[in-house]
Amino acid sequence: MKQLEESPALCRSEGNIFWWIMSTIWLPFTLPHLIFKVIGMIRERRYRECLPGKVVLITGASSGLGEALAHTFFLAGCKVVLAARRKDELERVRKDLLALHTTVVTHSPVVVPLDLSDINSLPNKVKEVLEIHGQIDILINNGGISVRSDCLSTALDVDIKVMLVNYFGTVALSKACLPSMIKRKEGRIVCVSSVQGKFSIPHRSAYGASKHALQAFCDSLRAEMAENNVRVTLVSPGYINTALSFNALTGTGKQYGKIDSTTASGSSPEKVAKLILKAVLRDEDDITIAPIAPRLAYWIRHLCPPLYFRIMASRAKKVDSSASKDD
């Protein structure tokens, strides 16, 4: 009988010890996270009211994530400027926006064809937008190309082209937009990078290098522009279900022409676009949009490099073996 009476007391004691341990270990981590989350929600609500009428220039807007971003920011009431190489596809996106969102009170999208590899022409493209709208509130650097080739088989011309489009084109366009933003003491540069800008994987040396460079550029620019109230948001997505791999370059510069299984099973561009909008509204500096595996790889790379290098070497061996079978 005495044993039965002591049992509930023992359970309560063990329960108290459990919660004491949980609060001691986890509370210092979870409490700041919850506080930042609440602050983010407050910011999002406040900035959402200010978003209608903002001029948003989106590169790579002719398809994929760029097209999804156009729909997302258009629905939010922004003055969307669609930019990419293919004018006919930009016109299609523009017509889709006007046809699909007829109930939305917003502004007619503007089409500005541009080629990120032609960096000397980009200042005039920005000038064209400024002549139309008078300002650029948000620049979303989304345009880019990828590569499917090992380092040794990749022609140097391909390395240069990828760096020219993904890095120098983004830098040139950002620099062309900055003077007007600094003058107004307001603006935001959004750069769509990749998780491969945070850690590298085999057969992506050219692509990963361009995204690594973009990461460094954004980190420097963010610090330099803080006093001018020009914000910089770096977005690092994982795989997105778009035609990026289909349009990727091979080592010789030809079109890859295939949709990778990893790309096909990636996040929808619509989902990623909404998360980018949320990052802008919450004034985020650097966000990663990816499942657990890439996030884990990032931490392994920085906390245990030897293990990461071993995993990547094994991955490279498997890819090479698979490619030889296909040949």
Question: Is-catalytic flag, 47?
Answer: no
Q: According to the model, what pLDDT value does residue 2 have? A: 46
Q: Take residue 129 and report the two structure tokens written for it.
A: 């937008």
Rounded-to-integer distance, Cα 83 and Cα 61, Å: 6
CB 89 within 8 A of CB 61: no
- Token pair 């007829």: residue: 102
Q: According to the model, what pLDDT value does residue 4 have? A: 46
Which residues lie across from 255 on neighbouring strands? 249
Q: According to the model, what pLDDT value does residue 163 have? A: 97
Domain boundaries, the chain: 53-290, 292-322
Its sign, for the CA torsion 248, 252, 255, 259, is: negative
- Token pair 């030889």: residue: 324
CB 230 within 8 A of CB 187: yes
Q: What would you report as the CA-atom Rg of the chain, rounded to the nearest whole angstrom?
A: 23
Its sign, for the CA torsion 239, 240, 241, 242, is: negative
Q: What phi, psi does 152 have (nearest 5°)?
A: -65, -35
Q: Greatest CA separation found in the chain?
A: 89
Q: Take residue 62 and report the two structure tokens written for it.
A: 């002719």
Helix, strand, coil proportions of the chain in percent (round to 5)? 60, 15, 25
Q: According to the model, what pLDDT value does residue 36 have? A: 56
Q: Which residue, among 231, 253, 235, has the nearest Cα to 138 in the 3D structure?
A: 231
User: 10-residue block means of pLDDT along the chain (327 residues)?
Assistant: 50 54 59 59 64 95 96 94 96 94 77 96 97 97 93 94 97 98 97 94 93 97 97 96 87 87 88 96 95 92 92 84 45
Is CATH 3.40.50.720 what the domain over 53-290 is classified as, yes or no? Answer: yes
Task: Name residues whose C-beta falls within 8 Å of residue 98's C-beta, 6 or more positions apart in sequence.
Answer: 108, 109
What is the model's pTM?
0.84
SS3 316: helix
Q: Which residue, among 181, 167, 154, 183, has the nearest Cα to 218 in the 3D structure?
A: 167
User: What strands lie across the sheet with 138-141, from one edge to the other?
Assistant: 110-113, 79-84, 55-59, 138-141, 187-192, 230-237, 286-289
Rounded-to-integer distance, Cα 188 and Cα 139, Å: 6
CA 94, 188, 280, 114: dihedral to nearest 10 degrees?
A: 30
Q: Which of 167, 207, 239, 308 is catalytic?
A: 207
At 44, the amino acid letter reads E
Rounded-to-integer distance, Cα 75 and Cα 274, Å: 11
Q: Are strands 187-192 and 230-237 parallel, antiparallel or unpaired?
A: parallel
Q: Take residue 256 and report the two structure tokens written for it.
A: 């890859």
CB 265 within 8 A of CB 174: no
CB 158 within 8 A of CB 206: yes
Rounded-to-integer distance, Cα 178 and Cα 130, Å: 12
Q: According to the model, what pLDDT value does residue 326 have? A: 41
SS3 165: helix
